[in-house]
Structure 1
Amino acid sequence: MSLALRVAVLTTVAVAMTLGMVSAVVFVTVRAEFTSSLDDSMIRRANAAVSAGINEPLLSDPSTNALAYIGIQPFIVQSGQLIGNVQNDSSEYAKLKGYRELEVSIGERKVSARTVTIQGVPHRVVAVPAYKGRALVLVQSMESNRDALERLKIILLLASTAGVVLAGLAGWAVATNGLRPVRRLTEATEHVARTTDLTPIEVRGSDELARLTTSFNAMLVALDASQERQRQLVADAGHELRTPLTSLRTNIELIGQAADNAERSLTDDQRHEIMGDVRAQLEELTTLVGDLVELARDEPMTRDPAPLDFADVVNQAVYRVRLRAQDVHIDVDLSPWMVIGEPQLLERAVTNLLDNAAKWSPPDGEIRVRLAGGVLTVADDGAGINEQDLPHIFDRFYRSSEARTLPGSGLGLSIVKRAAERHGGTVDVTSAPGSGTTFTLVLPEAAANELT
């Protein structure tokens, strides 16, 4: 069952129940009103007859029984017996002898009213006190009331049926038109799944469904941007991987040719040079693959972050860089700063900053590392960065014209930015040609309750 059909069915059922309850209340109310009105009329007539001095001979005389002409049969109850027109002396009228009328005749009840069926027709029986030991009983047919109620029942049934049908049609129309944006979203989703086309759909109106469409379009835009980043990453990675792989293949082919042909044997110096080149290319390739794996993770931190002193992380990174950059001096001044984060990722980010500073520092240059109040600065005495390159140095695979002649993949600073963002921090750079470069990494301090 479709959603529109379910809405139409539920609407129809709700309207049917409402109309059924309303019709029942109307029918019961009208029937009670008819009965109450008839009782009031008969009681007034009975009291008027008693006040006029009606007695047994008058009731027994057909010529004087004026009430019979208007459809009312009068009787007197005396000592448990009915006294009235002899024409009414039948087994059917014996039903009129009831304890209620007897109680009225002996004064235990002021008035009584009930319904009996005589010859298949409902009659209303009303009794009022007449004189000592007697009660005047009036009997009137309710056939006209019954016919009126039957007509009312038919009218209510027809009106309710028509109301249910109209409610069903209206519910179907409202559901069909109201769910049209949902169907458009469904068709758009199926189109995306079938064709991978992420074109946003048209937004109509300003209601909740329009907001849903806007949210869906935002999701499509985000998905398209994610796919574009993935495609760009694959393209850039392929471009960057091609250089070390080509160099490795060339060196391996040289070694293979020398092994197959004695005339092309390599000297020890040539062999050491080739093997050194191979090791360098393997290290570059390993670094590049690690960087690509790190940058390919678009999810937030999923490892278990732990409280740590950022100063310890910086010290460990400085120790690593000093081992491979012995021709530069690293001046360190650190203050404790507790953070919540991933030590491996933070250490890699700081190492990338130090490696970048060491790469651009002149021989016997100095790298100044300072950590105070959660602000880490790494400053070098290098040639600086051109103004046109500054906005792009944190982009993936971006390398300035000067950097293309040096080892590297253009991913190190992207990892620094990613690490800062994953830890709720920021990274920035200031530089000018000929005056060195300063990177600033800011991380928020861990709250006191997070350190316990």
Structure 2
Amino acid sequence: MSATSRPIRAVLTPIHRTIQPLTARASLALRVALLTTAAVAVTLAAVSALVFVTVKAEFESSLDESMLRRANAAVSEGYTASKEELDVAGIKIFVVRGGQIFSRRGEDTTLPLNNNEIEVSIGEAKSSRRTTMIDGELYRVIAVQAGEGSALVLAQPMESIDRALERLKIILLLASAAGVVLAGGAGWVVATNGLRPVRRLTAAAERVARTSELRPIKVTGHDELARLTTSFNQMLLALDASQERQRQLVADAGHELRTPLTSLRTNIELLGQAAENPDRQLSLSERTEIMDDVRVQLQELTTLVGDLVELARDEPMARDPEQLDLADTLTSALDRVRPRAPGLTFDVEAESWTVIGEPPLLERAVTNLLDNAAKWSPAGGTVTVRLVGGVLTVRDDGPGITASDLPHVFDRFYRSNEARTLPGSGLGLSIVRRAAERHGGNVTAESPAGSGSVFTMTIPPPDGRSSASHTRASARSQS
């Protein structure tokens, strides 16, 4: 740190420490107004200083030129023709000879000799000019050559110039003060009006925090604040949609959980009554039937809870996804589905397809597609599975999906009239869609007339392009 910067820092640091707590407690509009006022004050101070210095230099230059004309005229006329004029102007006359200065009129007033006048007297300079004090008064001193080895020195008081500069200083100070006041008021008005949308956003955010009402606010204008308001409204709409989905999920989950829980409670109450009342003993077949029903309901309840947990997750893909082969995932899913679908034929042709993702989620999605096809296929039917270029197609031989149900098959808890008599929670295909979207893909459903249903799930490769090297592996099996 330089020696010059240390005193400046020593002055600014206390000021900064004093202002910082004040601005930290002030409102944004007040801070903007203060900054505007400070900027205008610095600008006016710089302009005023420049005007003052320029006017002062002009005054001195004009005075110097006037005194030089008089001095040259006095020298050329032998000090006599301009004497009366010099007396009227209050100019003191001195002569420099031999390195000494003498009063031309024999006055007691002495002028402090300067090297400038000596240089003029010996011919090293044609003229000189400076400002000095004489008898406690400020004078402007001009020296010109007055022959060999001598110089004529004129000293004129600067009282009139000082008075003019003082008046100018007062005018500049008053004008600057008025400008600062006006700038402060204008800055406050501009900041207050300009930050009105921000205050509206603040009030809206406080209202949301206080009442949980996600009501958008009115957008006015097309500037950055209008864009901020639009973004805030979009955020409110997204939050409202998210809350609506959560409420719908809770409502649907409560409705779906009620059935297995009611069945479980009924069966457990029957077993409890049989254990407490010897007259109401159950036969072995009845007990077996009740226990089988309990196991089925527990399995359904477990599946439903797992599906709900999966759908309730809103976080993005795992931070450490794995590289996997979708064909291996399909093989694992087939190994799980085949034991649950005896009598069905799975016609499978799969290409190796490398993706980066979550193996459990992808396997669950593929398993749900296969389970859905197996559930709707008739006994002895065939489930056709193809994996080509990252596109997994699952076709069944079932009755197909009606046109009214087709747009809703991937909705949560949606079950067609025909599906209400079959086991399931109505969440399997929703998980399939979620898994595809989390991996940058999609899933669609079709139901060609007379040829069952076709579900197509597409998972893109890591680089978004089709893979060039895939090994073909075909398998045909019958359970």
Q: TM-score, normalised by structure 1?
A: 0.94
* 1:185 and 2:204 aligned: no
**Separation in structure 2 between the aligned mates of residue 294 and residue 28 of structure 1, nearest angstrom:** 78
Match of 1:233 in 2: 249
* 1:128 and 2:153 aligned: no
Deviation at 1:134, TM superposition (A): 1.6
Deviations 1:80-102 (A, max 9, x none): 1314112xx22xx3124333222
Higher mean C-alpha displacement, 100-109 vs 120-129: 100-109
Match of 1:173 in 2: 189
**Separation in structure 1 between the aligned mates of residue 174 and residue 387 of structure 2, nearest angstrom:** 87
- Does the 8 Å contact 2:376/2:398 carry over to 1? yes
Match of 2:397 in 1: 381
- Does the 8 Å contact 2:353/2:390 carry over to 1? yes
Deviation at 1:448, TM superposition (A): 10
Q: Give the residue type in structure 2 aligned to 1:31.
A: K
Q: Give the residue type in structure 1 aligned to 2:31.
A: R
Decide which of 47, 52, 62 is 1:22's aligned counterpart: 47
SS of the residue corresponding to residue 409 of structure 1 reads: coil
Match of 1:73 in 2: 92
**Separation in structure 2 between the aligned mates of residue 65 and residue 250 of structure 1, nearest angstrom:** 133
* 1:396 and 2:412 aligned: yes
**Separation in structure 2 between the aligned mates of residue 447 and residue 10 of structure 1, nearest angstrom:** 51
C-alpha spacing 1:114/1:303, structure 2 compared with 1 (3 Å) = closer
**Separation in structure 2 between the aligned mates of residue 150 and residue 241 of structure 1, nearest angstrom:** 92
Higher mean C-alpha displacement, 122-131 vs 220-229: 122-131
Decide which of 129, 154, 157 is 1:138's aligned counterpart: 154
Sequence identity of aligned pairs in percent? 68
- Does the 8 Å contact 2:318/2:358 carry over to 1? no
Q: Give the residue type in structure 2 aligned to 1:400.
A: S
Deviation at 1:434, TM superposition (A): 4.1
**Separation in structure 1 between the aligned mates of residue 285 and residue 228 of structure 2, nearest angstrom:** 70
Q: Give the residue type in structure 2 aligned to 1:236.
A: D
Structure 1 segments unaligned to the other structure (5+ residues): none
**Separation in structure 1 between the aligned mates of residue 464 and residue 230 of structure 2, nearest angstrom:** 41
SS of the residue corresponding to residue 231 of structure 2 reads: helix
Match of 1:273 in 2: 289
Q: Give the residue type in structure 2 aligned to 1:115.
A: T
Q: Give the residue type in structure 2 aligned to 1:423.
A: H
C-alpha spacing 1:279/1:303, structure 2 compared with 1 (3 Å) = farther
- Does the 8 Å contact 1:417/1:426 carry over to 2? yes
* 1:345 and 2:361 aligned: yes
Match of 1:85 in 2: 105
Q: Give the residue type in structure 1 aligned to 2:366.
A: V
Decide which of 172, 177, 185 is 1:156's aligned counterpart: 172
Higher mean C-alpha displacement, 215-224 vs 99-108: 99-108
**Separation in structure 1 between the aligned mates of residue 295 and residue 316 of structure 2, nearest angstrom:** 34
* 1:406 and 2:422 aligned: yes
Match of 2:477 in 1: none
- Does the 8 Å contact 1:68/1:74 carry over to 2? no
Deviations 1:282-330 (A, max 9, x none): 0000000000000001221125211111000001101110111112121
**Separation in structure 2 between the aligned mates of residue 121 and residue 192 of structure 1, nearest angstrom:** 74
Deviations 1:201-256 (A, max 9, x none): 01111111011000000000000000000000000000000000000000000000
- Does the 8 Å contact 2:94/2:101 carry over to 1? no
- Does the 8 Å contact 1:362/1:381 carry over to 2? yes
Decide which of 20, 29, 40 is 2:65's aligned counterpart: 40
Deviations 1:112-144 (A, max 9, x none): 111122233211111101112221111111111
**Separation in structure 2 between the aligned mates of residue 81 and residue 287 of structure 1, nearest angstrom:** 117
Q: Give the residue type in structure 1 aligned to 2:74.
A: A
Structure 2 segments unaligned to the other structure (5+ residues): 1-25, 468-479
* 1:324 and 2:349 aligned: no
SS of the residue corresponding to residue 317 of structure 2 reads: coil
- Does the 8 Å contact 1:330/1:366 carry over to 2? yes
Deviation at 1:51, TM superposition (A): 1.4
Runs (4+) off by over 6 Å: none
Decide which of 201, 206, 209 is 2:217's aligned counterpart: 201
- Does the 8 Å contact 1:385/1:433 carry over to 2? no
* 1:147 and 2:163 aligned: yes
SS of the residue corresponding to residue 94 of structure 1 reads: coil
- Does the 8 Å contact 1:303/1:342 carry over to 2? no
Deviations 1:256-293 (A, max 9, x none): 01101111111111011000000000000000000000
Q: Give the residue type in structure 1 aligned to 2:90.
A: G
**Separation in structure 2 between the aligned mates of residue 423 and residue 97 of structure 1, nearest angstrom:** 94
* 1:444 and 2:444 aligned: no
Match of 1:4 in 2: 29
Q: Give the residue type in structure 2 aligned to 1:26.
A: V
The aligned length equals 440
Match of 1:53 in 2: 78
Match of 1:304 in 2: 320
Higher mean C-alpha displacement, 332-341 vs 191-200: 332-341
Deviation at 1:37, TM superposition (A): 1.1
Deviation at 1:432, TM superposition (A): 4.1
**Separation in structure 2 between the aligned mates of residue 81 and residue 409 of structure 1, nearest angstrom:** 118
